[in-house]
Amino acid sequence: MSFDVNDEVLIGDLESVREERQVIPPTANVLVKIKSAGITDNGSTERDIPVTLKGINCQFVIQDGIEVPVTDDDGNPTGETEIKYKNMHLSTFRPLELCIWADPETKNSKWFKNRQHLVEFQKFCKALDINLKEVKVNDEFLGSLVGKELRLDITREANQTKDESGEYKDNGTFRNRVRNFKKV
């Protein structure tokens, strides 16, 4: 067995390193192309959490960018705008964003019984001219999404974490969500 001898890299203290995520400002009617699609769920084998939701995880690429206000060094708007975020990737990383299945045993509220969890998926299918009568999500369906374009709205939502009492609280960071899918 052979191995490479690598030079040592001194990294130093990692305690103060914090992840910075670029959050897009809320925007409507953004043109995107689907780069990839798969199925995601909310389960975890390592934490023994059963799957109660399944959704489509789409990776979108912003096509034309988004017009945003230009600010000066102090953060004040200058009155001008510029195009940003062109070719930036977005995703539907949570199963409820494009939900395709909910466990009827655990997700049994009126909202789920009335199939409200499928509304965004229905909008998504309509935007892509997918026949709504017999939708089957499988590898062929997911593969057929790649390369298609549609428009969507981007919203901003606070990230939450559980505190010691088990209550969810905003943690001061944000993430983007996509919704309101429309035809190009």
For tokens 């998926």, the residue is: 121
Helix (H) or strand (E) holding 120: helix 119-127
- Confidence band, pLDDT 50/70/90 cuts, at residue 41: very high
pLDDT tens, position by position, 139-148: 999 999 999 9
State the Cα–Cα distance between residues 84 and 38, nearest whole angstrom: 27
pLDDT category of residue 132 using cuts at 50, 70 and 90: very high
Cα 111 to the center of its chain, rounded Å: 22
Q: How confident is the model at residue 20 (pLDDT cuts 50, 70, 90)?
A: low
Dump pLDDT digits (tens) for 42-97.
987 777 889 999 999 999 999 999 999 999 999 899 999 999 999 999 988 788 88
Q: Taking Cα atoms as reference points, which of 33, 30, 22 lies closest to residue 59?
A: 33
Give the start-to-end residue ranges of the domains of the chain. Answer: 27-182
